[in-house]
Amino acid sequence: MEKSENNTQNMMPQIPSVEEAYKFFKIELNPDGSLTRHAEAPTLPASPEPDPNNPNSSLSKDIPLNAATGTFIRLFRPRSPPPNAKLPLLIYYHGGGFVFLSATSAPFHASCGRMSAHLPALIASVEYRLAPEHRLPAAYHDAIDAVEWARDQAAAGAAAADPWMGELADFSRVFLMGSSAGGNIVYRTGLTLLDRDVRPMKIVGLIMNQPFFGGVRRTGSELAYYNDKIIPLHGADLLWSLALPEGAGRDHEYCDPLAGGGPGEERLRRLPLILVRGYSGDPLVDKQKEFVEMLAARGARVVAQFVDGGFHGVELFDPKFADALYDAIRDFVAADDRDRGN
């Protein structure tokens, strides 16, 4: 084992500097600790009215979440849901390394709209605060705000809730879903909710698509794909340095789910059913596999799907991978129905 570790160190690639990572992401750190982001993704407005050119499109609207933090929900619903049906609710957290992007970013807006129609489901996409302007745990707090908003919608009843929620939401079938940094948020939120009462709503599943985790030790996939075009190793280093609390390192539990030994068996056994998806071409895949192994070893109910090929965020670029992801989520939601005898 010692010889293998020495060999790994000897084969360590020349990782570009953090300064190069700023150039890669086209960002600048300002004296006040904020970022100037020079390559922002285009954004799209909500679409509360049907698109006459796309009969299969979903509808969407923005709902304020927390006025003090400026957060909101972008709520998606199928244009033509099944008659007299109640739909599962997915509370969705977007990706972007905790530093980039928005619920309004065109790739996530389009993905949530397609997913809402495909499942079908209501999808509450959360606009959470970004680092470094708002370092972790700010995004986690915003994630909890979104869950509490959904809980309050459930408690309000159909007459008092948002009309789309009152008409369509099945509050006994609520799932937390996130991609990349959003997958990380799902895990942290799931742990926090073990100590919260969200009744009359019931969270029955956690869906983590390519969750963004890391650690002090470099994994084999990080080294193999150190110069990845989406999340190179020096890029991941920079994102964690901007997102983690001041003074925290890669051994912090927000970054490494195995830090300090990870949560105990008693807590992990209480989590809802978990789906973790990853791709063999993602630098983060080995850490995701370690995460799954830890969950399974401690009695969590976890479904692992690691797909050959692909890369980080591939479903935002390739419709075939997107449809496969939506199919997997639909099957996972349907499996919950079967488990409950529906």
Annotated catalytic residues are 180, 282, 312
Phi then psi for residue 337, to 5 deg, are -60, -45
Cis before residue 137, ω within 30 degrees of 0?
yes
CB 155 within 8 A of CB 147: no
Say how many Å lie between the first and final Cα of the chain, rounded.
50
What three-state secondary structure class fits 241? helix
Neighbours of 75 (CB within 10 A): 24
Q: Token digits for 38?
A: 């020079």
Amino acid (one-letter) located at 325: L
CB 219 within 8 A of CB 286: yes
Neighbours of 277 (CB within 10 A): 24
Identify the CA nearest to 97 among candidates 221, 226, 257, 233. Answer: 233
Q: Token digits for 167?
A: 């008409």
Q: What is the DSSP-derived secondary structure letter of residue 249?
A: -
Alpha helices in the chain (DSSP H): 2-10, 18-25, 106-118, 138-156, 163-168, 181-193, 220-224, 233-243, 265-269, 285-297, 319-339
Amino acid (one-letter) located at 170: D
Q: Token digits for 266?
A: 């008693």
Phi then psi for residue 298, to 5 deg, are -105, 15
The residues facing 90 across adjacent strands are 123, 175
